[in-house]
Amino acid sequence: MKFYTFFRRNLKEIVRDPLSLIFCIGFPAILLIVFRIIFSSMGEKVYEATPQFRIDQLVPNMCLFGFTFLSLFVGMLLAKDRTTSFLARLRSTSLRPADFMLGYAVPMLPIALFQEIILLFIGLLFGLNLTANVFFMLLALLPCSVLFIACGVLIGLVLSDKSVGGVASILVNVAVFLSGMFFPVSAMSGGFVTFMKVLPYIHISQIAKTVLTGSGVIEFSVWGSVGILAIYTLALTALSVVVFAKKLRKDNF
Amino acid sequence: MEAIQTKNLNKTFKDKVAVDGLNLTVHRGELYTLLGVNGAGKTTAIRMLTCLARPTSGEAKVCGYDVISEREKVKERIGVSPQETSVAPNLTVKENLRFFADLTLPKAEREKAVGEMIELFRLGEFEKKKAKLLSGGWQRQLSIAMALIGKPQVLFLDEPTLGLDVIARRRLWEVVQSLKGKMTILLTTHYMEEAEVLSDRVGVLARGKLYTEGTVEEIETRTNSNSLEEAFVAITKEAEQ
Ligand SMILES: Nc1ncnc2c1ncn2[C@@H]1O[C@H](COP(=O)(O)OP(=O)(O)OP(=O)(O)O)[C@@H](O)[C@H]1O
Ligand SMILES: [Mg+2]
């Protein structure tokens, strides 16, 4: 029950910050609309050559883009609570370590779900076919957000509230470029694609697209993608739990 | 059983000794004030007693429970108003209070306790306002109310009147006086008048050591001074040498 109390506080804290709504939901939503308008005005040829801007790929990609901001906002909240000694004050209440960790991380899940639903809704307006697979895609994407949440918790634990913004925006850019969100990965080959495959981001696109259409964005088994993403997610989550637990025991959180 | 008892409590940061062999006893229901110049070790002592910092050596008990091995028991029994104002910025005044009530009180008492705190600290006018929109002094009072709402057995107030205007300060004194006897209070302050008005006993910390303690009168007599301020200056000067 203490967890729920803390969960509610953190959810309110983020949702009531207009910036978090603008970035987590407004920004990806506007990009989605803008890309749709630009690319639907172009000829068939361009459209064929840029599958990543087709609506069935644009929606999951914008979800991924939106997820990167979850890192920013959970990181900011945690770092701010550390610098304002709000967290210190909570440490002298009977909240347990698990309450702290889940209390910061779990509120990001409903936000991620909300992002997905908004983007899906816009996607439907712009010609996405409403099939059962669309819902399965949303379900498949949701656990992918855990990677970004764990990452945000980690940033918020080790950085000051002033540096969280900078570091998180680097991560946003890395994720954007290395997820193949904006270029046609299927038409690419060579070292860069291999590099992208080593990182988790492209695998999120791979999973989403496979669930939606039955074929992926790269020549790669979808279960391989699930495996790689799971390893990253588990490793990052474990690391953030360890750092969190260690910090809770330290004098200066 | 004493409300607070420390035995040879030490805290060292690298080579800096912040608290040095502190032997402090605060009786139940007593209001004890720690005086000391900036950096004397007041906050560090409170942080150890409230389970936020680990003692380097020595022992500390709050309500009879060890602050390390029985910290959960300690945490259930204390309220802490930190030196820095600390509230949840995007929560309203009422929600901030409710948040701490939810963390510290049984369900049936929460709503009532929130109302009592709003009344006691005259926060009614702002109860629906986000905490970050309050003035510094009002945020301060909310921050203190959040420490008090759980009806702790031992209340720690680290420079509670920092940043309060004269009127608010006096009102807070009244609040603190109304709590006397109901709970044990450990307070720190830089205002001698505050210590005189509120304390049952006063202790003077200098360079992490407790130099003297007693009632205000006892301390004045001991140092041949006419006021607590004079006594405090004399003790601190002596300690510096
Ligand atoms: N985390 C820390 N790391 C290193 N030194 C510290 C730390 N916390 C406190 N100190 C040092 O310990 C000493 C005591 O600090 P403390 O904050 O307890 O003083 P204080 O009596 O509360 O002072 P003030 O009246 O200014 O609040 C100071 O010299 C301070 O620099
Ligand atoms: Mg202090």
* pLDDT tens-digit map of B150-189: 999 999 999 999 999 999 999 999 999 999 989 999 999 9
Nearest by CB to A13, from B78, B88, B150: name it: B88
Rg, chain B, Cα only: 18
Binned at pLDDT 50, 70 and 90, residue A161 comes out as: very high
A123, B4, B55, B149 from B26: Cα distances, Å: 66, 5, 18, 22
| The model's pTM | 0.93
Task: Give the length of chain A.
Answer: 253
Which pLDDT value is given to residue A218? 83
Task: Give the length of chain B.
Answer: 241
Q: Is the pLDDT of residue A78 over 90?
A: yes
Q: Is the pLDDT of residue A252 over 70?
A: no
- Count of other CB atoms within 10 angstroms of residue A116: 23
Number of domains into which chain A is organized? 1
Query: Do B103 and B78 form a contact (C-beta atoms < 8 A)?
Result: no
Residues of B with CB below 8 A from A247's CB?
none
**In terms of residue numbers, what domain contains A204?**
2-249
Q: How far is the CA of B194 from the centre of ligand 1 (A)?
A: 22
Which pLDDT value is given to residue B235? 94
What atom in ligand 1 is closest to the CA of residue B11? 12
Separation between Cα atoms, residue B38 and residue B48, nearest integer Å: 18
Binned at pLDDT 50, 70 and 90, residue A253 comes out as: low
Chain B stretch 26-85, residues whose beta carbon is closer than 8 A to a beta carbon of chain A: 47, 50-54, 72, 75-76, 78, 80, 82, 84
Can you tell me the mean pLDDT for A4-22?
94
For B204-224, write each residue's pLDDT tens digit: 999 999 999 999 999 999 999
DSSP B183: B
Task: Indicate yes or no: CB of B95 within 8 angstroms of CB of A12.
Answer: yes
Residues whose beta carbon lies within 6 Å of some atom of ligand 1:
A 251-252; B 13, 16, 18, 36, 38-44, 83
For A164-185, write each residue's pLDDT tens digit: 999 998 988 888 888 888 777 7
Binned at pLDDT 50, 70 and 90, residue A1 comes out as: confident
Task: State the average pLDDT for chain B.
Answer: 96
Residue A88, chain B, CB below 8 Å: the answer is yes
